[in-house]
Amino acid sequence: MAVHCIAPARGEETPIPVPVNRISSTSPTLARSESQAIRDQRILENLHLARIIAIRIYEGLPIHLELEELIQVGTLGLIDAAARFDESKNVSFPGYAKHRIRGAILDSLRDMDWASRDQRRRCKQVDTATRKLSGILQRTPTDAEIAQEMGLALEKWQQVAGSLRNHGPVSATSRPLGQDDLPEPEFPADESDHPDAICRRNQIAKALKEAILALPIRYQTVVSMYYTDEMTMKEIGSVLGVNESRVSQIHKSALQKMAVVLETNGISPATVL
């Protein structure tokens, strides 16, 4: 059977077949996909850091906040860290992420500061008026007297006072609105605020600083990374270019050297280290 070949029309080029479903390994789309996968993997592997750091910060806060809010903010910091991480810097991702997570949470706490500029100004006005009237009357002024001194209607003053009580620290001499006849509340001082406790803390802080400065620079670095930056032995080792075992040795030796300095200053290492 004869086979007839159909020649392309004059001026037309013979089409070149293109392989289907074949993408170059250097495709930008594929590169972005791989980068996204690596970033997502880093986030999943280090999600626990957001919770751990949020809990540590939460435990030291003097005001009531929702822990879950701090964890959410920390998670956003982790995501941001994954997006900004540069492998060429030769820094471990967990160590880098800890800084970004902590920074995100602290920035959020600053934004949530109870006292806006207007509230600070108003609080100062209330304090000034209260002190002035207390000096004149030789007693704690009533709501009506404070309202008059500030040039506010009683109802408006009660709104202002309620707002300050709800969003800021309550004065130790304040009483519930409408109950001015009650005796002023008394609050025992916290033991940590006693002069001897404050003096003791200052003494320990000074001794610790001297003990750390007495260490070799490399030892100071390990102590700072471990206790201040909250990095693991493995992470510190990756930064310093040594193995985890060596970091552990340096850390142990640093504590021993610090203990000698502390004992010299009359402080028991067991109460500090």
**Identity of the residue numbered 107:** D
User: What is the reported pLDDT for 176?
Assistant: 47
Low-confidence spans in the chain with pLDDT less than 50: 1-6, 16, 18-25, 168-180, 182, 184-190
List, as one string, the DSSP characters of 71-92: HHHHHHHHHHHHHH--GGG---
Residue 150 shares a structural domain with residue 219? no
87 inside domain: yes
CATH number of residue 241's parent domain: 1.10.10.10
* Residue 185 pLDDT: 45
Please give the C-alpha separations between residue 22 and each of 14, 15, 27, 258, in angstroms, as whole numbers. 22, 18, 11, 63
In a domain, 135, yes or no: yes
**Within a domain: 213:** yes
Residue-level pLDDT at 31? 65
**Residue 88 is assigned to a structural domain of this protein:** yes
Considering the domain architecture, whether residues 107 and 123 belong to the same structural domain is answered as no
pLDDT at 174: 46
Instruction: Find the domain containing 150 and state its range.
Output: 117-167
Residue 109: exposure state from Cβ atoms within 10 A (0-12, 13-18, ≥19):
middle
pLDDT score, position 18? 44
Give pTM, 2 decimals: 0.38
Q: Angle at CA 190, nearest 5°, toward 121 and 169?
A: 20
Given 67, 85, 111, the domain boundary residue is 111
